[in-house]
A and B are shown apart, each in its own frame.
Chain A
């Protein structure tokens, strides 16, 4: 036991000194921080985009304007909800009149449930000014003033000398240099790029598609609204315009047919709530919350964490064994300790560093949540609490250790048979293929955690740790949990025993890696 401890401590100490270990530990928080940092930065740095509107029909220019105003209001609404969530006082009935707070809550709920309806409501009740009046008494004292987001889409004047009243094709031809960015657009004396051109031809009404009518010829399609932009990824503007113009057309149709638009609106905003309930929960608590959904998906994250950490550990185990072999250190070691002690020492030492990595990741995650204030992190923090209070953590600890023991045993045996990493790669290939399988099926199993594929995979010991972790939140049948655990533990014992045999004989081997027949002979070798 002393020998195992000594070897494990050395392995751990040496592993901790490597650059790869620190890269592994630091990468996670760096990515986490980076993602949030860039997201914030990108959101703030998106430049103002100038667009041109050529409305030859004279009917829909207003609708386009409205669409852009509405898009802007939508962003204000989102930003405002985030702002309120972040700086709201803790709900305290004595300090805050319940009604007003309920109104804010209602707003937040509405945005979550149906953003379009919430936006209508928001605009009707007076937009930001009204909401601020409503919210300010219930914000914390230290809350900064709300800064609404800048307008993203700004209408620009038509460049001089461009005749907007000609044939649509001629108009496009004239504006092409601006559209392709060859000529800059001058707005308020500053040079800018033209983001988009919206052209509404005079005969645009002829292009309206109605149910039952024959499909339009492609040439007639050109008579509809034309949206010209070289940026193909930012679809917010064309989507908003399409929505708004369609809404205007529909309103016109209603008017033509003598239908009261207000009635239609009210009808459209009518909705039937659907509550998702979980039969396994206590009475009165059945409602499925966001946290529940998260809890259902959390195992996927754990499977991923397990996969990354296992990969890192077993790779290190492999390269480290090969180093000792190629350096012939193994012989000195074997004169001091038994092969089993050596193997177990390595297993524990590297396992310990794997656990250290995971703990470091979780710690940095905690720190990140604590130090980086924001609605996203607050939400993550809530999820984290859900996680800690659930029984997923014990599952994860058990399956991580089991998976590690299983794969470490196999990779140690592979390492003991090879003299160089290159040789090991060919033996590792099939193992890698097997390790990928749980990752590929991860999402699928989370959706159907007790389905046939999930159950079958659970009974294959190489997949058991991943698949059972994947299913953990769905409370798999007790038979599966106990049965697969027994099979898994037996397999681990068998694998460690067999790889111990291979390890003993493999570590002193030199020359080419063995053929399958030789490995089988090693396995049947009596000692």
Chain B
């Protein structure tokens, strides 16, 4: 088995003067869950469409499952597009089975596989229902199932969580983890960081068509310095002298409502620094703490940190 199921090298796509994807390269290791993160309009869908050979890149090359063209290996790929839709008049099992047969499964296997999936993911009672009678969320689950029914080696899900309620989001997370356990590689795009944080082995962050970050969750966390938040009265200069501290920001310095006279500080600490030592240091210098927080920066923070200004600018356009 090859090491990478998918490799993009220097891929670009332009629509007229607009550059949708700009010189992106990355590789996805076999068997991983890979997150495609980025603000709206970042180029995630365009990248996915190029990977699937629905769109042709203007430049660069794509290697998917050892082939340069996804059409040659399309039976080994499962795809859920961003905008969801199904044939309204078809029955639920029939549509799953139909898409599986289009991926090369024979009719009988496809039918039994459809019922198996519907049972496992809580849609057994709807197997004979028509798609038009389903709620939006259920329809979306059906579509996810129809994308993966043929047990593809590579599963590409474009915004699979959007429109699902929390319970069904969990079901979907379960499905993704099930597939990863079976050795399938899963790529999904999202702008909800919690899912990526919980599921992804690796992730790619793109904005304005450019790659901003590619790496593991730990790599991502390392981008933003870790922070300790202190709330106390008086001076903290003694603590700040410590070698572990990279910088200090006072939060809300102008807020007069802090009647207690306490001030809020945010200390950025070094990667290897031990927050316990800082706490100890505070005690040693008799700083009366009313609050001491040590938090790992969330992926959300990393995301905002990396694309924040751009994303805001984009949304105002």
Contacts and interface: CB of A to CB of B under 8 A. Distances in A.
Instruction: Please determine whether chains A and B interact with each other in the same assembly.
Output: yes
Interface string A403-444: 000000000000000000000000000000000000000000
Contact of B54 (A14, A18, A331): A331
B89 interface: yes
Interface stretch (A266-274, A335-343, A491-499): A335-343
Nearest to B101: A6
B89 A335 contact: no
A332 interface: yes
Contacts of A6: 98, 101-102
B86 interface: yes
A14 B90 contact: yes
A336 B77 CA distance: 9
Nearest to B84: A328
A38 to B, nearest CB: 36
Interface string A331-375: 111111110000000000000000000000000000000000000
A456 interface: no
B87 A14 contact: yes
B230 to A, nearest CB: 51
Given A6-B102, A508-B54, A332 B90 contact: no
Given A3-B102, A14-B90, A335 B74 contact: yes
Given A334-B54, A335-B79, A327 B86 contact: yes
A361 B98 CA distance: 31
Given A14-B89, A328-B84, A329-B87, A336 B99 contact: yes
B129 interface: no
A88 interface: no
Interface string B76-94: 0101111111111110000
B186 to A, nearest CB: 15
Nearest to B51: A335
Contacts of A327: 85-88
Contacts of B84: 328
B155 to A, nearest CB: 11
B98 A335 contact: no
Contacts of B145: none
Nearest to A327: B85
B74, B85, B103, B143: most-surrounded residue (chain A CB, <10 A): B85
The 7 closest A-B pairs by CB, nearest first: A327-B85, A328-B83, A331-B81, A335-B79, A336-B102, A328-B85, A329-B85
18 contacts: A3-B102, A10-B98, A14-B89, A324-B85, A326-B85, A327-B86, A327-B88, A328-B84, A329-B85, A331-B49, A331-B54, A332-B80, A332-B81, A332-B143, A335-B54, A335-B70, A335-B77, A336-B102
